[in-house]
């Protein structure tokens, strides 16, 4: 993806990202966004590549199984702590095609460096 | 600094010289108090003792070879600093302590007996520095050497790569006692600036540390973590990362993952090494020279 494309999608996503962790109140939001479940465990996100559609509003429901993993989305300027026993919800609303990378930023052991993922937004 | 030694080292090591001008050396040095003397120190980093894998099939002896090379320096440095990731991480607290102790035993063979240690996330993040402290003491501290003030900071014991409020307050208090023109060297493991956040090459609250350092005109940061030489400026502050002594990593952000560069059997230890830092001009000019693990 070109730099221009990346900037475009990120600007769109930034405009639409609401509170990082929406909690139980999210169910009351209008429009019923698609909910995508994601699991974090040493040393991977599952799935680690998630396809989204531009202009689609989604909620990523994240469960950590074994550690307070991080989820840093540097291009969006936001990060989350994924506490085991909780569901952490991330709302995304990308406006244009592109890629949004994320990475664990809480050192979790031998394999931490492999703990990456990305959202791939298509038209 | 003994120029003859510096030149001799360059000759056998083929290392590049990088002059880190600490903001207009000569003119600023004029205002310095007396007592500054030229000297040099050696930085070694990211030895990852205990690592096993194809990225370095020679891992069991690489550190010992680096120690031997440092011991062969014609003129020994005033001191040596290890900027973190002394050991490769393990979940087993007993094994962690065994690796730290073994590392300590190996580097005890260094001729130079003034050796400063710092933790990396591989040493300290899984137990918030507990094992490291047992064997090496505090994870952040200061010392002064021939007129240069050294500040070793800990951006790894918190698994979230934070200095934290307590350490930032400590840093603020320490800097408040310094002349604004005094030469200051900051030692860290992770980069204090956002080098490549998508690879977790950053310090979460590093910008606050840089903000505290900015009023000081002669500040240089030496760090490790990224297993390669890299030079960056945040305003007038120079940041220099060191090569590792286990395996090199790709250029920041150059590919999707920060996987080690493959071992090159035709050129063992390629991309690995250590450096000397030569302090001149009353500590306001630091010259960096890179050296390989073994002599050619």
Question: What does the pLDDT look like over B200-244, one tens digit per residue?
Answer: 999 999 999 999 999 999 999 999 999 999 999 999 999 999 999
Q: Which range is least confidently modeled, A103-112, B29-38, B142-151?
A: B29-38
pLDDT tens, residue by residue, B141-190: 999 999 999 999 999 999 999 999 999 999 999 999 999 999 999 999 99
What token pair was written down for B296?
Answer: 């050619």
Q: Do A103 and B160 touch (CB under 8 A)?
A: no
What token pair was written down for B136?
Answer: 């090496």
Q: Any idea which residue has 């509170």 for tokens?
A: A19
Q: What is the DSSP letter of A53?
A: E
For the cut 90, the answer to whether the pLDDT of residue B37 exceeds it is: no
B92 touches chain A (CB under 8 A): no
Nearest to B160 among A105, A113, A116 (CB): A105
Dist CA A104 CA B200 (whole Å): 7
What is the percent of chain B with per-residue pLDDT over 70, rounded to a whole number? 88
B226 touches chain A (CB under 8 A): no
Dist CA B175 CA B180 (whole Å): 9
Q: Which of B6, B11, B13 is nearest to B243 (CA)?
A: B13
Nearest to A105 among B88, B200, B256 (CB): B200
Q: Do A116 and B256 touch (CB under 8 A)?
A: yes
Q: What range defines the domain where residue B165 resides?
A: 3-252+261-287
Give the 3-state secondary structure percentages of chain A, helix then strand then coil, rounded to 5: 20, 40, 35
Q: Do A107 and B126 touch (CB under 8 A)?
A: yes
pLDDT at site A2? 39
pLDDT at site B58? 96
Q: Do B90 and A110 touch (CB under 8 A)?
A: yes
Residue B177 domain flag:
yes
pLDDT tens, residue by residue, A49-102: 999 999 999 999 999 999 999 999 998 999 999 999 999 999 999 999 999 999
Dist CA B26 CA B45 (whole Å): 30
pLDDT at site B35? 55
Q: How many domains does chain B have?
A: 1
pLDDT tens, residue by residue, B61-97: 999 999 999 999 999 999 999 999 999 999 999 999 9
- CATH number for B53: 3.60.21.10
Residue A99: other Cβ atoms inside 10 A: 17
Residue B296 domain flag:
no
Residue B293 domain flag:
no
Average pLDDT, chain B: 89
- Domains within chain A, CATH numbers bracketed: 3-122 (2.60.40.420)
Q: Which of B79, B67, B69, B68 is nearest to B114 (CA)?
A: B79
Residue B292 domain flag:
no
* Residue B48: partners with Cβ closer than 8 Å, 6 or more residues away: B59, B85, B86, B87, B88, B122, B244, B245, B246, B247
Q: What is the largest CA-CA distance in chain B?
A: 53
For the cut 70, the answer to whether the pLDDT of residue A27 exceeds it is: no
Residue B171 domain flag:
yes
What token pair was written down for B14?
Answer: 């083929």
Residue B76 domain flag:
yes
- Please say whether the beta carbons of B178 and B161 come within 8 A: no
Residue B295 domain flag:
no
């Amino acid at each position: 993806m070109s730099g221009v494309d990346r900037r475009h999608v990120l600007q769109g996503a930034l405009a639409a990202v609401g509170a990082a962790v929406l909690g139980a109140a999210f169910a009351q939001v209008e429009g019923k966004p698609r909910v995508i479940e994601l699991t974090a465990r040493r040393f991977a996100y599952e799935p680690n590549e998630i396809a989204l559609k531009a202009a689609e509003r989604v909620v990523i429901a994240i469960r950590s199984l074994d550690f307070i993993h991080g989820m840093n989305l540097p291009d969006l300027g936001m990060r989350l702590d994924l506490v085991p026993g909780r569901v952490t919800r991330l709302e995304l609303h990308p406006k244009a095609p592109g890629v949004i990378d994320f990475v664990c930023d809480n050192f979790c052991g031998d394999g931490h460096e492999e703990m990456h993922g990305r959202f791939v937004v298509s038209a | 600094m003994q120029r003859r030694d510096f030149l001799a080292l360059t000759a056998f090591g083929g290392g590049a010289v990088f002059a880190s001008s600490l903001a207009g050396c000569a003119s600023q040095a004029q205002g310095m108090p007396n007592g500054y003397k030229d000297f040099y120190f050696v930085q070694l980093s990211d030895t990852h003792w205990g690592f096993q894998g194809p990225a370095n099939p020679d891992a069991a002896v690489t550190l010992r070879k680096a120690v031997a090379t440092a011991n062969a320096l014609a003129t020994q440095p005033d001191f040596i600093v290890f900027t973190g990731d002394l050991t490769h991480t393990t979940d087993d607290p007993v094994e962690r302590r065994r690796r730290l102790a073994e590392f300590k035993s190996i580097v005890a063979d260094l001729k130079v007996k003034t050796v400063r240690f710092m933790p990396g996330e591989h040493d300290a993040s899984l137990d918030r520095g507990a094992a490291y402290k047992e064997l090496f003491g505090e994870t952040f501290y200061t010392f002064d050497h021939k007129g240069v003030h050294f500040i070793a900071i800990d951006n790894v014991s918190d698994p979230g790569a934070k200095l934290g409020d307590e350490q930032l307050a400590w840093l603020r208090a320490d800097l408040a006692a310094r002349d604004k023109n005094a030469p200051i060297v900051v030692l860290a493991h992770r980069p204090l600036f956002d080098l490549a956040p998508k690879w977790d090459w950053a310090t979460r609250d590093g910008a606050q540390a840089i903000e505290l350092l900015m009023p000081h005109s002669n500040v240089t940061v030496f760090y490790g973590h990224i297993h390669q030489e890299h030079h960056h400026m945040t305003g007038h502050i120079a940041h220099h990362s060191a090569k590792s002594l286990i395996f090199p990593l790709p250029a920041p952000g150059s590919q999707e993952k920060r996987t080690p560069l493959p071992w090159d059997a035709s050129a063992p230890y390629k991309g690995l090494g250590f450096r000397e830092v030569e302090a001149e001009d009353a500590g306001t000019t630091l010259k960096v020279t890179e050296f390989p693990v073994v002599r050619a």
